[in-house]
Amino acid sequence: MYQATITITLRTSILDVQGKAVEHGIHSLGMSNVSNVRIGKHIELTIDAADEAEAKRITDEACRKILANQVMEDYTYTVKKA
Amino acid sequence: MGRLSTMKFGVVVFPGSNCDHDAYHAVKHVLKQDAEFIWHKSTSLGDVDAVILPGGFSYGDYLRTGAIARFSPVMREVVKFAEAGGTVIGICNGFQILLEAGLLPGAILRNRSLQFICRHVNLKVENAQTRFTSACSKGDVLSIPIAHGEGNYFADADTLSALQDNEQIVFRYCGPDGTVSDETNPNGSLLNIAGIMNTRGNVLGMMPHPERAVEAELGSTDGVKIFTSIIKSMVSMDVSL
Concerning whether B209 is annotated as a catalytic residue, the answer is yes
Contact B161, B141 (CB under 8 A): no
* Set of chain A residues whose Cβ sits within 8 Å of the Cβ of B111: 17
Average pLDDT of chain A, as a whole number: 96
Query: Which residue, among B133, B89, B144, B90, has the nearest Cα to B233 in the 3D structure?
Result: B133
Is A82 in the B-facing interface, judged by CB distances under 8 Å? Answer: no
Cα separation of B144 and B170, whole Å?
Answer: 14
In the set B100, B126, B150, B211, the catalytic residue is: B211
pLDDT tens digit sequence for A8-37: 999 999 999 999 999 999 999 999 999 999
pLDDT at B236 over 70: no
Which carries the bigger pLDDT value, residue B238 or residue B240?
A: B238
Q: How confident is the model over B145-177, as pLDDT tens digits?
A: 999 999 999 999 999 999 999 999 999 999 999
Q: What is the pLDDT of residue B235?
A: 77
pLDDT of residue A51: 97
Question: Residue B229's pLDDT is what?
Answer: 97
pLDDT band at residue B91 using 50, 70 and 90 as cut-offs: very high
DSSP string over B24-40:
HHIIIIIS--EEEEEET
Pick among A22, A39, A71 to test the B interface (most B CBs inside 10 A): A71
User: Does A15 touch chain B if contact means CB atoms closer than 8 Å?
Assistant: yes
- Residue B211 is among the residues annotated as catalytic for this protein: yes
- Secondary structure E strands in chain B: 8-13, 34-39, 50-53, 87-91, 107-109, 117-125, 141-148, 152-154, 169-174, 193-197, 203-206
Measure the CA–CA gap between B239 and B241, rounded to whole angstroms. 6
- B188, pLDDT greater than 60: yes
Chain B, nearest residue to A8 by Cα: B63
Measure in Å the smallest separation between the Cα of B75 and chain A Cα atoms.
Answer: 15
pLDDT band at B3 (very low <50, low <70, confident <90, very high): very low
Question: pLDDT of B190-223, one tens digit each?
Answer: 999 999 999 999 999 999 999 999 999 999 999 9
- Angstroms from A30 CA to nearest CA on chain B: 23
Tell me the pLDDT band of B4, cut-offs 50, 70 and 90: low
pLDDT of residue B241: 38
Our answer to whether residue B77 is catalytic in this structure is no
